[in-house]
Structure 1
Amino acid sequence: MPHLNISSDKAELDVPAIHHFLSTQSTWAIGIPLATVQRAIEHSLCVGGYIDGRQMAFARVVSDYATFAYLVDVYVLEEYRGRGYSKRLMEAVMEHPDLQGLRRFMLATSTAHDLYGRYGFTAPLRPGTLMERYFPDIYQR
């Protein structure tokens, strides 16, 4: 299995490739503009996964780095799935020094409950306390 390099250095990110995946292949950000992806990356902690210099995985965390974090935009390119790379990516996110000691770490997923469950994520213990404003098709308008 090829060696996976993981980095949180934003200078290493292949932003056009991230945009391509999110805007054409994700289930959550179809049609997202490049400028929106660039702004999101600028204001987030990002983790990239690389094999032979090619970015094949990505995760982004929005956080105040003190009490709260929200995990978003996690993916592994389809041709690399099933090899444990998502676990390595998640380990890097969960072990990142800036994300330790948080009171709440959240995410939303419709497909990867088993993966995230390995890292302590569960359904909300008090779902009645959570609210949201959600516009799922905002990039397609």
Structure 2
Amino acid sequence: MQADQLTISSHKDDLDLEMIYAFLSQHTAWAADMPRETFERAVAGSLCFGGYLDGKQIAFARLITDEATFAYLCDVFVLPAHCGKGYASALLKHIFASPSLKGLRRIVLVTTDAHHIYEPHGFTQLTNPERYMELHNPHVYQPKTTR
């Protein structure tokens, strides 16, 4: 199958929440052990896109955005069985053509090893990384232990 056969939707009713949650919580470092309730709140408060082949979801991306000035792109994935076929690129092209995201001043993302996927879409290293700060709690989804 080719990327032009991918159907993309931003309708949350089309999302396969079970598949998305299972993939994110079991196969990604950033969402490992994420409680289902947290995942559902994240989806509810975000602009989400699903990629579908023959009605079955094989890709996902989520943007946290005000749909006017800024967006944070996250939770982007294509199921492993479908990687290397241009689906991620097709999904990103569709996302960035979305009327909801036209005219944004800044879109950011964090990636450890997928720079090659985002660079063709205009993403670059931070121009002024010294201006960015974070409040990071990497263990937020892990149960607290009692001593």
TM-score by length of 2: 0.92
Which residue matches 1:15? 17
Counterpart in the other structure of 1:87: 89
Q: How many residues matched? A: 141
Q: Name the counterpart of 1:28.
A: 30
Query: Paired residue for 1:116?
Result: 118
The CA deviation at 1:140 is: 2.1
Identity %: 47
Deviations 1:72-109 (A, max 9, x none): 00000000001010001111111111001111110000
* Structure number with bigger Rg: 2
**Over the residues paired in the alignment, what is the CA RMSD in angstroms?**
1.0
Deviation at 1:128, TM superposition (A): 0.8
After TM superposition, which residue ranges in structure 1, 4 or more long, deviate above 4 angstroms?
Answer: none
What is the TM-score normalised by the length of structure 1? Answer: 0.96
3-state SS of the aligned residue for 1:23? helix
Q: What are the ranges of 5 or more consecutive residues in structure 2 without an aligned counterpart?
A: none
How far, CA to CA, are the matches of 2:109 and 2:139 in structure 1? 18
Matches of 2:46 and 2:113, distance apart in 1: 23
Q: Which amino acid aligns with 1:104?
A: R
Q: Distance in 2 between matches of 1:106 and 1:116?
A: 11
**Structure 1: segments with no counterpart, 5+ residues:** none
1:40 corresponds in structure 2 to 42
